[in-house]
Homo-oligomer: A and B are copies of this chain.
Amino acid sequence: MGTLRFSKRSAQTGEQPISYYMQQGVENPRLISLAAGLVDPESLPADEVREVVAELLANPATAQTALQYGTTQGYAPLRAKIHRHLLAQDGLKPSEVGYNSDDIVVTTGSQQLLYTLGEALLDPGDIVITEAPSYFVYHGVLNSLGIRTLSVPMDHEGMCTDALEVVLARLEEAGELPRVKLIYTIDYYQNPTGLTLSLHRRRQMLELARRYSKAGRILILEDAAYRELRFSGDDLPSIKSFDRANEHVILAMTFSKPLSPGLKTGYAVLPRDLVGPLLRFKGNHDFGSSNFNQHILDRLMETGAYDRHAERLRGVYRAKRDTLLAALAEEFPEARSSMRWTRPDGGLYVWLSCPPEVATGPGSRFMEAAMREGVLYVPGVFCYVKEGAPSPPTPLPGGEGGNAPNCEARLCFGVASHDDLREAVRRLGAAARETLRGEKIAMRGFAGCKV
């Protein structure tokens, strides 16, 4: 029958490394998964969606619109509501931002925005700067596009913007500034660390993007997927809110986290000159995400059900975070253990740093022990840009650079029940004891910026 011949890009489009562990979770129901980045199942908006669907479809006019094709850019009334919603979050008036609903694009989850943005902007060999660690699924997309991904370390204030400046200066020296197109940050309750970019660094990041836009504009991709899941701490303004002329920042958000992933709808604000080119790719993908789901979301925003639900979710996740943090503190008391972890003010993730002698990666004693005990996590090493990517990361000043630490783990508190969270941590503790067997655990704090 002849060999099937795949594209060249197919060879660099790998399986997500996480797939194996996800599959384990599906096949072994005894496992408690802190790996999957799903949302709390109990609080999904079943009643709210049922009510608006009943209303939408009882009226022939709205039913006919909702069940028909929509537009590539997205349902205009929904985009108008998104516009107002974004303004409200940043406490700004329409006249205080350089964008309106024509600059908003609705996508099939924010993932599709990340993808089509790459297609519209990036050529193989172009450079994207990310955080280390960062969202591993996006690294896979960048790899598939043949992009050079450089990473900048993080500390408790998020991406170290001083280190970002050093990277940009070195790239300029090396004549590589023309290849730099995008800086990627998950600036609220980051996936995977739970860390948030501080106010001062938000301003600094935008200032750097502006300053280094010498050979062409450098954009910031502000992935604010978790912003609306804030349950403690200050609400920081988006980086977008400082980008008054709508020139440098793409703000990507989603309805998946603050409402329901089943509706698979995200959205973004784009610099105006990017809207058309991106929509041409999106048109080729699907000429528009599910119009029915957009009508549901439009109605949920209209009635206020969306805001009420997000508020309720903040309570749900605050309680789950508290349970996880309390269980960790109990299982790994500071005086006797050198396990460390982040204390997120929102989102779904806690980042666990084990002592350096406890490797957490695939095949490690700790991971094997954890799977035997019945708990799954995302190995931290998956969240760092892979060596052997199209180009190895530039060695970074002072920090660990491209050498991914292999002693970290992402713990998602979104899905598991309170009891399961406690049990999962107990199992992690058992796995740690099994791994260390009386070895003295060296102290190790969370790596800070050392620029």
- Which of B38, B57, B245 has a CB less than 8 Å from the CB of A1? B245
For the complex, give the distance between the alpha carbons of A430 and B248 in Å: 52
Q: Check: A79 CB closer than 8 A to any chain B CB.
A: no
> Contacting chain B: which of A60-68, A229-237, A323-331, A404-412?
A60-68
Q: Check: A27 CB closer than 8 A to any chain B CB.
A: no
**B288 and A264 within 8 A (CB):** yes
**Neighbouring B residues of A256 by C-beta, 8 Å:** 69
Q: Check: A273 CB closer than 8 A to any chain B CB.
A: yes
**Neighbouring B residues of A58 by C-beta, 8 Å:** 46, 50
**Neighbouring B residues of A14 by C-beta, 8 Å:** 280
**Neighbouring B residues of A5 by C-beta, 8 Å:** 121, 181, 216-217
**A285 and B44 within 8 A (CB):** no
**A290 and B108 within 8 A (CB):** yes
By CB atoms of chain B within 10 A, which of A112, A245, A261, A263 has the most?
Answer: A261
**A2 and B67 within 8 A (CB):** no
**A10 and B277 within 8 A (CB):** yes
For the complex, give the distance between the alpha carbons of A217 and B49 in Å: 46
**Neighbouring B residues of A287 by C-beta, 8 Å:** 109, 111, 137
- Interface CB pairs A-B, < 8 A, 10: A6-B120, A7-B120, A10-B119, A10-B120, A13-B284, A39-B69, A45-B67, A46-B67, A50-B53, A67-B261
With A4-B217, A49-B67 given, can you name 14 additional A-B contacts, CB distance below 8 Å? A1-B210, A1-B213, A4-B216, A7-B121, A7-B123, A7-B126, A41-B68, A46-B57, A50-B54, A69-B261, A109-B287, A144-B284, A264-B288, A265-B290
> B-contacting residues of A (Cβ < 8 Å)?
1-10, 13-16, 38-39, 41-42, 44-47, 49-50, 53-54, 57-58, 60, 63-64, 66-70, 108-109, 111-112, 115, 119-123, 126, 137, 140-141, 144, 181, 210, 213-219, 245, 247-248, 256, 260-265, 271, 273-274, 276-277, 280-281, 283-293, 295
